[in-house]
Amino acid sequence: MDDLLASIEQLETTMMSYGHTMIVALVIVIAGIIAIKWTNRALKQVFSKMAISPNKGVTVRNSVCVLLFAVVVSIAAIVLGLEARPVFRLLSIIAFAVVGLIVAFRPLFPALPFKVGNTIKTGDLLGKVEATTVLNTRLKTFDGATIYVPNRKILGDTVINYLVTPTRRLDLKVNIHFDQDLMKAKEVLENIMMEDRRVHTTPRPVVHVMSLDKGCVELQGRCWTDNLKRFLLNREMLEKAKLRFDQEGIKMAVPQMRVHHSGAYIPRTYSEE
C-alpha cells in the first residue's frame, strides 16, 4: 500500500513538473498531423490540375508527409527536453529511409491505365474514376453507385479508357424498308448529323449502306465528336432520326429473319442491340 501511494505521489510530482510541457508537445503533434493531412489534400488537388499521374502523385505526397511528420516529432521531442541534434539526426535517418523505400518500391507496383477523372469500362463496370489506392480503385457509375474494384482484377481484365483520345467516332444505325427512298433517307440522316454543332465537320459525316439482309436496308451514319459529348449525342441523334423520318414519311423497319418450317415461310422479327 505504501509503495502504491509513493508511486501516485511520484506521478503527481512528475505531472506537476512536466505536465505543461507534455501538453504542449501533444498539441504540437496533433496540430502537425492536421497540417500534414491538409497538405496532403492540397498537393492532391495541385497534382490533379497539373495532370500528374496518380502513381507519381501518391509517391511525392507520401514522401512529403513522412518528412513533415519527422519534423513534427522532432519539435515535440525538443519541447519535452531531449537534445535537438541527436533527435533530429535519428528522425532524419528514419524519414529518409522510409522515403527511399517508397521511391524504390513504387515502380514495382503495376501502373493503372487511367487516372482520376477518366471514364473507363472494366469488365461489366462503366464509370468515372474518383480515386485510386495501392489496393483498389473507386468508380462512380452513371446511376450514382460507388464501386470499389480491386486493382488486381482491373489489371487482369480488359480496360477501355474513353478519355485517352479527345475525339471518337459515333455510329448511328437506322433501318428502313426496301420500298423506301434510299437516297432521301441517306440525305436526311446526313443532314441530322451536319446540323448538330457537336459533330465535327472534319472528317465529314457520311452515311453508308451496311447490309441488305434481315429484311431491311441497314444504314449507318458516321461522324466524329468530342469524347465527353458522345454518350448524350448518340441518344439525341437516335431521337432526331426517328422524328425526322416520321416527318419525311420514311418508314423505319425492324430487322427480320426467315424461318423455314415444313416447306412454309414464316417471317419472324427480332430485336438487335
Please determine, for residue 12, whether its predicted confidence score (pLDDT) is greater than 60: no
User: And the C-alpha cell for 249?
Assistant: 414519311
Give me the residue spans of the domains in the chain.
2-108, 119-161, 167-257
Position 109 scores a pLDDT of 58
Please determine, for residue 7, whether its predicted confidence score (pLDDT) is greater than 70: no
User: And the C-alpha cell for 247?
Assistant: 416527318
Coil vs helix vs strand at 95: helix
CATH architecture of 119-161: Roll (2.30)
Please determine, for residue 273, whether its predicted confidence score (pLDDT) is greater than 50: no
Q: How confident is the model at residue 235 (pLDDT cuts 50, 70, 90)?
A: very high
Please determine, for residue 272, whether its predicted confidence score (pLDDT) is greater than 50: no
pTM of whole model > 0.85? no
Please determine, for residue 271, whether its predicted confidence score (pLDDT) is greater than 80: no
Please determine, for residue 262, whether its predicted confidence score (pLDDT) is greater than 90: no
Amino acid identity, position 1: M
- The fold of the 2-108 domain, in CATH, is Helix Hairpins (1.10.287)
- Of 22-31, 91-100, 215-224, 231-240, the range with the lowest mean pLDDT is 91-100
Top CATH class of 167-257 equals alpha beta
Q: List 207's β-bridge partners, or say none.
A: 221
The Cα-based distances of 148 to 106, 112, 130, 134, 237 in angstroms read 22, 15, 10, 12, 33
Average pLDDT, the chain: 80
- CA separation for the pair 53, 101 (Å, rounded): 20
Q: How confident is the model at residue 18 (pLDDT cuts 50, 70, 90)?
A: low
- The pLDDT tens digits for 100-135 are 666 665 555 567 888 888 888 888 888 898 888 778
Q: How confident is the model at residue 174 (pLDDT cuts 50, 70, 90)?
A: very high
- Of 16-25, 205-214, 249-258, the range with the lowest mean pLDDT is 16-25
